[in-house]
Amino acid sequence: MGHLLAPSILAADFANLQRDVETVNASEADWFHLDVMDGVFVPNISFGIPVIKAIAKHAKKPLDVHLMIVDPDRYIDAFHDLGADVLTVHYEACPHLHRTLQAIRAKGMKAGVALNPHTPVSLLQDVIGEFDLVCLMSVNPGFGGQKFIERTYQKVRELRGMINEAGTSAMIEIDGGVGSNNWAKLVDAGADVLVAGSSTFNAPVPADAIREMKGLPVEA
Q: Compare residues 56 and 168 and give the one whose CB is closer to ligand DX5.
A: 56
Minimum separation from the CB atom of position 112 to ligand DX5 (A):
12
Give yes or no for residue 11 binding ligand DX5 (CB under 6 A).
yes
What's the order of all strands across the beta sheet hosting 193-196?
Answer: 4-7, 193-196, 171-175, 133-137, 110-115, 86-90, 63-68, 32-37
Q: For residues 33 and 214, which CB has a smaller minimum distance to ligand DX5 in the complex?
A: 33
Question: Applying CB under 5 A, does 175 fall inside the site for Zn ion?
Answer: yes
Integer Cα distance of 192 and 66 in angstroms: 16
Q: Where are the alpha helices (DSSP H) in 32-145?
A: 49-58, 76-81, 97-106
Hey, is 111 helix, strand or coil? strand
Piece of 24-32, 103-111, 138-146, 210-218 that binds ligand DX5 (CB under 6 A): 138-146
d(CA 18, CA 55): 7
CB of 167 to ligand DX5, least distance (A): 29
Residue 40: CB atoms within 10 A of its CB come to: 12
195 binds ligand DX5 (CB under 6 A): yes
CA 22, 24, 28, 33 dihedral sign is negative
Shortest CB 175 distance to Zn ion, Å: 4
198 binds, among ligand DX5, Zn ion, none (CB under 5 to 8 A by kind): ligand DX5
| Catalytic residue status for 175 | yes
CB-nearest residue to ligand DX5: 197
Choose among Zn ion, ligand DX5, none what residue 159 binds, the Cβ cut-off being 5 to 8 Å by kind. Answer: none
- Collapsed DSSP state (helix, strand, coil) of residue 13: coil
Residue type, 19: R
Min. distance of Cβ 35 from Zn ion in angstroms?
A: 4
Active-site hit among 20, 30, 175, 192: 175
What's 74's DSSP letter? G
Q: Which of 24, 32, 92, 141 binds ligand DX5 (CB under 6 A)?
A: 141
Of 128, 199, 190, 187, the closest CA to residue 160 belongs to: 190
HSE on the CB side for 4, CA within 13 Å?
20
Beta carbon nearer to Zn ion, 121 or 194: 194
Q: Does 155 engage in binding with Zn ion (CB under 5 A)?
A: no
Residues that bind ligand DX5 (CB under 6 A): 8, 10-11, 33, 35, 66, 139, 141-142, 144-146, 175-178, 195-199
Residues marked active site are found at: 35, 175
